[in-house]
Amino acid sequence: MPADFFAEARAREELGLAVFLNAGDPPLPVLTDLVALLDASGVDCLELAVPFPDSPTDGPVVRRSAGRGLARGTGLRETLDFVAAVRPGLKRLRIAVLADWSHSLRTAAPADYARAVADSGADALLAHGLPPRLRQAHHEALRAADLPEVTTCYPASSPATVAEAAAHASGYLYLVARYGRSGAGTPDGGHAGLAPFVASLRDLTVSPIAVGFGVSTAEDLLSVARSGADAAIVGSAGVAALERSLEAGSDPVDGYRSFLADLGRPLSTRPKEDTRAHP
């Protein structure tokens, strides 16, 4: 620990890529094939959410996906069993489990859920909605389980919140590009406008910085690369591609393969030299 989620991409001076999916959407047997596709396609990280209802930070696409996962009976145990089944066969892909505290974690002590996630073979845990009074116990439990932690902050977060997120980001730091719900568009000024804030985070953490929210196209990936972040996180756009395939009765793995191809990776993070003539 810490786990280096985007080491291969960084070594090639390329932007890393994480994608978000809800466990159980598509159904777990199909999701197994989709995870194999992600691994073979050079995706660096899967943020695999234990589905939970009524997320205040997710838009309708991700909420519908969570609803489908919940309708299929997918909870924390099923998600961790899935991770344990697919993890040994992965060559590149890391898996960060996202679990909502109120829906999935609150009935267990931090030491117990940290150990369960670690034992599944997951590479990190992102706890959503963790109450402030439990944060210290949560951090300590993950350290004791040798389980990397994904933390989050916003550009407008208080200095204390930013400092805490940076201090405990042993997996990576998820920089949420804007307030609001997922899938609602890019932040004002584009993701490249986050460059000053990304630079300030570099002074606070040695862990990778991944930018998410509003990242859905090749142009968005380029903008994230220009921000200086290590990786981009793509969520709602990919989930929407799966939803379209499911609604059409076509293969969701093929649908997601086409979505990844349209993203046009890899992208260099090396600044282009200015080749204009100078007087």
Report whether 136 contacts 143 (CB < 8 A). no
What does the block give as tokens for 82? 């899935």
Residue listed under structure tokens 């916003």: 154
- Please, are residues 95 and 123 in contact by the beta-carbon 8 Å criterion? yes
Catalytic residue among 4, 39, 47, 100: 47
* Alpha-helix residue ranges (DSSP H) falling in the chain: 7-11, 28-40, 60-71, 76-86, 110-119, 135-144, 159-168, 195-202, 218-227, 236-248, 252-263
Q: Which among 25, 39, 58, 220 is annotated as catalytic? A: 58
Kindly state the tokens that stand for 123.
């590479």
Is the backbone peptide bond immediately before 53 cis, with ω within 30 degrees of 0? no
Q: Determine whether 262 is an active site residue.
A: no
Q: How far apart are the C-alpha atoms of 110 and 121, rounded to whole Å?
A: 17
| Catalytic annotation present for 14 | no
Q: H-type helices in 87-178, by residue range?
A: 110-119, 135-144, 159-168
| Rounded Cα–Cα distance for residues 193 and 168 (Å) | 25
Q: Is the peptide bond before 26 cis (omega within 30 degrees of 0)?
A: yes
Q: Which residues carry out catalysis?
A: 47, 58
